[in-house]
Amino acid sequence: MSLLRAIVFGAAGQDGSYLVSELLSQGYTVLGLIHNNAAPRPPQDGLSFAQMSLEGLDALPALLREFGPTEFYNLAARSSGAGMFDDPIAIGELNGIAVARMLEAIRQSDRRIRFCQASSSELFGEPEESPQSEATPLRPRSPYGAAKLYAHWMLDIYRKRHGMFACSALLFNHESPRRGLAFVTRKVTHAAARIKLGLADQVELGNLEARRDWGFAGDYMRAMYLMLQQDQPRDYVVATGTTHSVRQLCEVAFGHLGLDYKRHVVEAPADFRSSEPVQLVGDASLARRKLGWAPTVAFEQMITSMVDHDLALMQSQATPA
């Protein structure tokens, strides 16, 4: 049995699936914690699952003692995107206080367990500088960002007060074919595939000039793994350092299928976000220097792979069994 044992909280999501694959490839035994309503996963050597929600962490200390992980990755959270202002009380409890409960469970059970928190570029909110690095002041502007900031500072407190190996990964936007439909990248690739197959004619989007630092989720999960392999714990920005507009996203996605996005994309003013005076874009030079990490999947490659996935998925659903 492997001496390398990891818990991945939020194993059923996009990020969790990539992180689990990374850990298994490194020889870990992995316990994936999934929410009660998460889709069942097929059995796999070295991988097992248990149900646990962010609302019910009372059993976590006993689980830690029973499984005996060497590493603990928290990817679970109330989602960002359009819902980051919805139900601020619940967001605070699930994205903030729940992380403090995880840290306390580790402190009570085994302080040698290394912990990595999936944090967010939303911590920067309205930044004073661009690009943003680990030294950039944190100024969240949403309940989601504020809750993540609470978790971020609690992690720092446990690291300094209790000597725990705890790291925060300040993840900028990261996408893949496994991304949910609520996010603009997958909304665009899904719509392009539907239009190509004649299942739709147009898609409504917000501001096409809005820009994001978009990277590949698998690359970002590899960065989180590398963070827990270091001699000393510290926080890292994980980003590509390059932004693309929603318009460019549409050009790549629709163009990959031989379509002109201008004929099918409708800007909906109601969906516009307020403009950002300072661009959100990450400076991951510390991760490059200390972790030896760099993105491996380019923006265009990532988006076309998402289009191909959506097209194949719809074609398979349309084919009689």
Q: CA-to-CA distance for 78 and 10, rounded, in angstroms?
A: 11
> For residue 87, is it left (φ>0), alpha (ψ between -120 and 50) or beta?
left
Please give the average pLDDT of every successive group of 10 residues along the chain, which has 321 residues: 89 96 97 80 85 94 97 89 76 96 98 98 94 97 95 98 98 97 96 98 95 98 98 98 98 98 90 68 98 98 98 86 51
pLDDT of residue 273: 59
Contact 26, 225 (CB under 8 A): yes
Determine whether 4 is exposed, middle or buried from the number of CB atoms within 10 Å of its CB (0-12, 13-18, 19+): middle
Tokens for 93, please give them: 């409890």
Question: At residue 43, what is the residue type?
Answer: P
> How far is residue 235's CA from residue 233's CA, in Å, rounded to a whole number?
7
Instruction: List Cα–Cα distances, 261 to 17, 149, 202, 204, in angstroms.
Output: 31, 38, 9, 11
**pLDDT tens, position by position, 169-211:** 999 999 999 999 989 999 999 999 999 999 999 999 999 999 9
What pTM was estimated for this model as a whole?
0.94
Arithmetic mean of pLDDT over the chain: 93
Take residue 139 and report the two structure tokens written for it. 């100024």
Is residue 175 within 8 A of residue 214, CB to CB? The reply is: yes
Crossing angle of helices 184-196 and 299-318, in 10° steps, is: 50
Q: According to the model, what pLDDT value does residue 193 have?
A: 98
Q: Extract the tokens encoding 227.
A: 């963070």
Looking at the annotation, which residues are catalytic?
A: 120, 122, 144
Per-residue pLDDT of 154-172, as tens digits, reads: 999 999 999 999 999 999 9
Taking each helix axis from N to C end, the angle separating 246-256 and 184-196, rounded to the nearest 10 degrees, works out to 30
Secondary structure (DSSP) of 258-315:
T--GGGTEEE-GGGPPPPPSS---B--HHIIIII-----S-HHHHHHHHHHHHHHHHH
Q: Which residues pair with 169 in a beta bridge?
A: 118, 236
The pLDDT value recorded for residue 278 is 81
List of domains in the chain:
5-174+215-238 (3.40.50.720), 181-212+242-280+297-318 (3.90.25.10)
CA 280 – CA 276 distance, rounded (Å): 8
Q: How crowded is the C-beta side of 62, counted as CA atoms within 13 Å?
A: 5
Tell me the residue type at 252: V
List strand residue ranges (DSSP E) for the chain, in order.
5-9, 29-34, 47-51, 71-74, 114-120, 166-171, 174-175, 203-205, 211-212, 215-216, 236-238, 244-245, 265-267
